[in-house]
Amino acid sequence: MAGTGTVATSEELAVLVRNDFIESRHAGSLVVVDPAGQVLFSKGDPNALVFPRSAMKLFQAMGIFSTGIELSPEFTALATSSHTGSAAHVELVKELLATGGFTEADLKCATEWPVNKDMLKQVYQADGGAMPIYHCCSGKHAAMLLACKHEGWPTENYLDRDHPLQVRILEAVEYLTGETITSTAVDGCGAPVHAMPLVKLASGVAKMLTADDSAPMGIKDSAQKLASSMLAHPWIVGDHGEPDVIIMEELGFTAKSGYEGVFIVSTPDGTTVATKILDGNLRTAPIVALQALVRAGALEQSKVDALIPRLHTDVYGGGKVVGQLQTTF
């Protein structure tokens, strides 16, 4: 059975320290590439296959925008969003659907309860239930529907692997990564997700964000608009207080998290880090990614140190800070 890296091929990347005791250890792999895709720094197995999970949204956006649809910066950022089902996010998704004449009923993503506590309370008080629009990927699905309508493609089966939109997305993935995709699965939202080597995930994003006029499918313009929209409206990409949102707000780096320990950060010049925490826990991925950029010479340690207090690294005991998540490289 195909799979990601193993314990044997991974390295310890971070630990959780409680008082003077290492309580947990997180192993995995990471790789930093320069704008041309050359490896600057790595730990573990940079060739380990990974599903990008929600980091796949960057590639999916290239397929979506290759259709020529024009969206506002807010809606463009929403196409990459892994939101919490907040009232603001839900309203944006409804507005985006409406621009194409769609409703919530057209979404094919899985049903989900809001993660946002305020919205969850509202749903309970209204005797509501789980709905597709509360799914963290509903913004991407709305953008997919608009892309299909723009091209005259069917919308009822837009998640099928052989649907023209998914074929277009796969073409973008294979162009950017230089890989022939051999492992594809169904992501949590129902869309196809393609396995790729971790180093190709990093170099694919770097190639995307530094694309020139020779890139096919309008990738240069799409990527520039995507990155500028994400950085202009980081809270739309996740929610206030999420690590990728904080990194975009504070550093001006393009960042995107993915479930199961995947995290992407790209500097303005295209230097890109990709992480895969082997146990799938995302709590250490942001600090691991940032520290890797430091080791690669792409980020100052002082900037990481200043950001740490916002990245939820403190460990509590009895209501007081008694330790911290720490990188080990």
- The pLDDT tens digits along the chain (329 residues) read 889 999 999 999 999 999 999 999 999 999 999 999 999 999 999 999 999 999 999 999 999 999 999 999 999 999 999 999 999 999 999 999 999 999 999 999 999 999 999 999 999 999 999 999 999 999 999 999 999 999 999 999 999 999 999 999 999 999 999 999 999 999 999 999 999 999 999 999 999 999 999 999 999 999 999 999 999 999 999 989 999 999 999 999 999 999 999 999 999 999 999 999 999 999 999 999 999 999 999 999 999 999 999 999 999 999 999 999 999 99
pLDDT per residue as tens digits for the range 91-144: 999 999 999 999 999 999 999 999 999 999 999 999 999 999 999 999 999 999
Asked if residue 200 lies in contact with residue 208, where contact means CB atoms within 8 angstroms, the answer is: no
- Whether residue 2 is contained in a domain is answered as no
Instruction: List the one residue out of 53, 15, 49, 30 whose CA is nearest residue 291.
Output: 30
Kindly state the tokens that stand for 201: 């995930």
- Give the pLDDT score at 196: 99
Look up residue 312 and give its DSSP letter. T
- Give the pLDDT score at 108: 98
Total number of domains constituting the chain: 1
- Whether residue 25 is contained in a domain is answered as yes
Q: How far is CA 97 from the centre of its chain?
A: 22
φ, ψ for residue 267 (rounded to 5)?
-75, 170
Look up residue 232 and give its DSSP letter. H
Instruction: List the one residue out of 237, 208, 209, 192 whose CA is nearest residue 75.
Output: 237
- Whether residue 148 is contained in a domain is answered as yes
pLDDT per residue as tens digits for the range 304-319: 999 999 999 999 999 9
Domain that holds residue 308: 11-327
Q: How far is CA 180 from the centre of its chain?
A: 21
Non-local CB neighbours of 26 within 8 Å, separated by 6+ positions:
12, 13, 14, 15, 16, 277, 278, 279, 281, 284, 288
Question: What CATH number corresponds to the domain at position 60?
Answer: 3.40.710
- Whether residue 3 is contained in a domain is answered as no
Asked if residue 273 lies in contact with residue 296, where contact means CB atoms within 8 angstroms, the answer is: yes
Q: Please tell me the distance from the alpha carbon of residue 107 to that of residue 134, in angstroms, as a whole number.
A: 11
- Whether residue 6 is contained in a domain is answered as no
- Whether residue 5 is contained in a domain is answered as no
